[in-house]
Amino acid sequence: MKHLSQAEFVDLVESRSPLPAARARHAEECERCRTEAESLRTMRLVASSDAIPEPSPLFWDHFSARVAEQVRHEPRPAAPATGWRMNPFATWAAAGTIAAMLITTALSRATLHAPAPHMANETAVAMPVSDVGPVDDLDNDQAWAVVRAAAADVAWEDVTAAGLTAHPADVENAALQLNAAERVELVRLLNADLKRNGA
């Protein structure tokens, strides 16, 4: 028969959970297991016989006062972290997703409301816009790739739970806050997109 396992030895030595009858019989009959169990029992006894000195009764008062004093200088412990505080990465990812959604929506809505730019105005603002660095190819744009990667694993439930959902007015506000140069760039991007899609 197999010798006792480590867990069985522990159960045997501690006499807390009795071994099954067959295993208990083996423990009695097997010289090797009996010796091992006796050795473990002795070591447990040796260890447990070591008592540590009890500190002075005054120590406890001093100790608790010392801890209390230190705690006084600590900020108040917060309630259990829930929602967005539990996962900051998800929060940033969700924020990135929302930002992307707002921009996309603003782009699509701006074509409906923005006045068509005159050529003269377009020329006038052409320089600053070029400094911004227009995005011609979203698929290969690095910044956009970062946003995409960050938002890839974000569930919409998390976004909603984090209170980062967009409202109808958000899109209007975003579109209205674009300056002239941004509107020009927006129109340019939309036109390019329309041409690419054959509209």
Partner 1 sequence: MEPRRWQVTVSRDRTDSARPDAASLPDGADDRTLVEACRSGRREAFDVIVERHQRQVYQLCYRFAGNHEDASDLAQDVFIRAYRGLHSFKGQSAFSTWLYRIAVNVCLNRVGARSQRWASLDAAEQADTREERADARILRGERAAEVRAAIARLPKKQRAALILRVYHDLPHDQIAAIVGSSVGAVKANFFHALANLKKLLNTK
Binding residues vs partner 1 (CB under 8 A): 6-7, 9-11, 13, 39-40, 42-44, 46-48, 50, 52-53, 55, 59-61, 63-64, 66-68, 70-72, 74, 76-81
Go through 81-119 and write b for each residue having 16 or more CB atoms within 10 A of its CB, e for each that does not. eeebeeeeebbebbbbbbeebbeebbbeebeeeeeebee
Q: How far is the CB of 47 from partner 1 (least distance, A)?
A: 5
Q: Between residues 77 and 115, which has the closer beta carbon with respect to partner 1?
A: 77
Q: Between residues 55 and 134, which has the closer beta carbon with respect to partner 1?
A: 55
Q: How far is the CB of 33 from partner 1 (least distance, A)?
A: 13
Q: Which helix (H) or strand (E) holds 30?
A: none
Q: How far is the CB of 196 from partner 1 (least distance, A)?
A: 51
Q: How many helices (H) and strands (E) does the chain have?
A: 11, 0
Q: Which residues contact 28 (CB under 8 A, 6 or more apart)?
A: 34
Q: How far is the CB of 88 from partner 1 (least distance, A)?
A: 15
